[in-house]
Structure 1
Amino acid sequence: MRLVFLLALLALTVAAAVYGVRSGMIDVPPDWNPWEQLDVNAEPNFLTRYKLDRLSERAEQCQQVLATTDIEYQRLDNRVTGPACGFFNAVRVERTTSRVGKPFSLSCRTAVSLALWERHVLDPAAQRHFGQKVATLEHFGSYSCRNVYGRAQATRSQHANAEALDVAGFVLEDGRRIRVLKDWEEDGASGAFLREIRTGACRFFDGVLSPNYNAAHRDHFHFDRGPYRVCR
């Protein structure tokens, strides 16, 4: 009976605390309040991933968060483009913190993940390794109505729903070019930079694939918001 009483008391205490936080009666900093909207510019903590995942089911809230980032974009209409292919709550990205060359389409939640990665991983790593910013993000595209690896019998790729982006390399402010294909195994700053930003991407994306995964990714990073967590 004593154990039952203690468990009941604990449950009541937790319920009261939750009510207090949600109602505003208990003052909790926004970054540590699980019911507050995600702040892309705030230092990530253990609640960041929870808040990011929550945007998957909240289309308008996702758009509100995306509007606070440095990404320049145009909202896209929802549409089906083929069997199990199309856009939902997606945007056309025209610029991030860097130039992107040809604009690309991403779901809102994947675009928010990209903004988090640039803000908290890519930009700090470029400053740390090279003392300058990334001027251009080079990519192989995002949306493509196709199966995984283009195989006829495979499942649909995350690219088929604008949930993935393939990043090939970067151009720094001084014009120096860093490419996954030629610099991944490099022992100096370029290789260390690429390996750091790959690992850092795992904090904000579900699928992160690099040359360590297989030969198909020897020349790019694949970042996606998908059903499986993998960091290779």
Structure 2
Amino acid sequence: MRFGVVGALCLWSFLLAGGAVAQDIATSPRPLPRPVLTVQPVAPAPATAPGLRPQARPEAAPAPAPAPAMTEALPPSPGMLAAAVPLLRPMPRPEGLMRGVQGGADMASAFPPPAAERERRGGLFGGLFGGGRKREERAAPADGFVCGDRAIRGEELARIAGKVKGCGIEAPVRVTQVDGIRLTTPATIDCPTAIALKDWINAGVRPAFGRNEVVELRIAASYICRTRNNRPGAKISEHGRGKAVDVSGFILADGRELSVARDYNRQMRRAHRAACGIFGTTLGPGSDGYHEDHLHFDTASHGNGPYCR
């Protein structure tokens, strides 16, 4: 009984709801139809006028080929280094050198140290100036001047030790030309005598002969170990000490030769007198009978001044 009432109520409610829905659908507004769109045809674009076309570009020169990219130097391969190693190896030492350092000798002793080598050669500049060497090993300057004077030409000689006591020259030079005037025979003397000879040529010979230019001196004697005037028992001559030179004549530029023995004229006398004071001793014709054919000059020192006759 109860179920039947409930079911009737449910059925009644359903029917009422369905009628309302049907009424709503019938009375609800419907959507309007869409308007019909008319598509207008598009006119084709006009062709481009010929005058507005871009002109063709001129043919451009071909672009230069790009420079090859710099490649970074690669380090040498191990094979290349191995091939170069034999070239860097030192040459084998001579057998004689190895024998010299055997027997426990120190390797450094086979090669003298630089300091010892400099000491042997006479110091740091020994190779240039000959310091520490014997005079016998000294060579003449490259350009031929001696005594530190470029006007005196010749060569340095080894020390001369006389066979007789009192003879000899400690530092001899062999002079061949003095301030442009040649010597017929090279004079072996010391440097003070060579310098005095140069001073006499400039202060005595040239002023005395004037325009009669002297180009050569006739040398009669220079170094010789003997006594004065060759007298037995006399003192050693200054010739035996390398301090004397004898002049026996003058050769002029025109070829003439004036001899002291036969042509002892005014010019020679004037040159003879001019030597007094430049040399310590001057002797000539009329002095002592031993110098009639030559002029004797030496650089001996006298306590009371030069000896001139």
Q: Does 1:82 align with 2:163?
A: yes
Distance 1:95 1:164 in 2: 16
Give the number of equivalent residue pairs.
160
Counterpart position of 1:136: 216
Counterpart position of 1:125: 208
Given that 2:146 and 2:152 are in contact with CA atoms closer than 8 Å, whether structure 1 keeps it comes out as no
Counterpart position of 1:178: 258
Deviations 1:93-121 (A, max 9, x none): 01123121221201110101001011121
Percent identity, aligned pairs only, is: 32
Q: Does 1:72 align with 2:153?
A: yes
- The Cα of 1:76 is off from its aligned counterpart by 1.9
Q: Does 1:148 align with 2:231?
A: no
Amino acid at match of 2:163: G
Change (3 A) 1:201 1:69: farther
TM-score relative to the length of structure 2: 0.49
Q: Choose which of 256, 274, 285 in structure 2 pairs with 1:211.
A: 285
Distance 2:194 2:152 in 1: 8
Q: Does 1:163 align with 2:163?
A: no
Deviations 1:122-177 (A, max 9, x none): 112222xxx13211100111001000111121000000011000100101000121
The residue matched to 2:151 in structure 1 has which SS? coil
Q: Does 1:198 align with 2:272?
A: yes
The residue matched to 1:113 in structure 2 has which SS? helix
Higher strand share: 1
The ranges of structure 1 where at least 4 consecutive aligned residues each deviate by more than 2 angstroms after the TM superposition are 64-69
Amino acid at match of 2:197: L
Amino acid at match of 2:173: V
Given that 1:65 and 1:112 are in contact with CA atoms closer than 8 Å, whether structure 2 keeps it comes out as no
Q: Does 1:230 align with 2:281?
A: no
- The Cα of 1:203 is off from its aligned counterpart by 2.5
Distance 2:209 2:183 in 1: 16
Distance 2:147 2:203 in 1: 15
Higher RCO (Cα < 8 Å, 6 or more apart): 1
**Equivalent runs, 1:97-116 vs 2, <5 Å:** 97-116=180-199
Structure having the higher Rg: 2
**Equivalent runs, 1:56-67 vs 2, <5 Å:** 66-67=147-148
Deviations 1:165-222 (A, max 9, x none): 01001010001211111122xxxxxx11111111100131000001120221100000
TM-score relative to the length of structure 1: 0.65
Deviations 1:36-57 (A, max 9, x none): xxxxxxxxxxxxxxxxxxxxxx
Change (3 A) 1:125 1:88: same
Question: What's the C-alpha RMSD, in Å, of the aligned pairs?
Answer: 1.6
Given that 1:113 and 1:205 are in contact with CA atoms closer than 8 Å, whether structure 2 keeps it comes out as yes
**Is there any run of 5+ residues in structure 2 with no aligned partner, and where?**
1-144
Higher helix share: 1
Distance 1:150 1:105 in 2: 19
- The Cα of 1:65 is off from its aligned counterpart by 8.8
**Equivalent runs, 1:15-34 vs 2, <5 Å:** none
- The Cα of 1:77 is off from its aligned counterpart by 2.3
**Is there any run of 5+ residues in structure 1 with no aligned partner, and where?**
1-63, 185-190
Counterpart position of 1:48: none
Given that 1:142 and 1:159 are in contact with CA atoms closer than 8 Å, whether structure 2 keeps it comes out as yes
Task: Report the more deviating stretch, 106-115 or 72-81.
Answer: 72-81
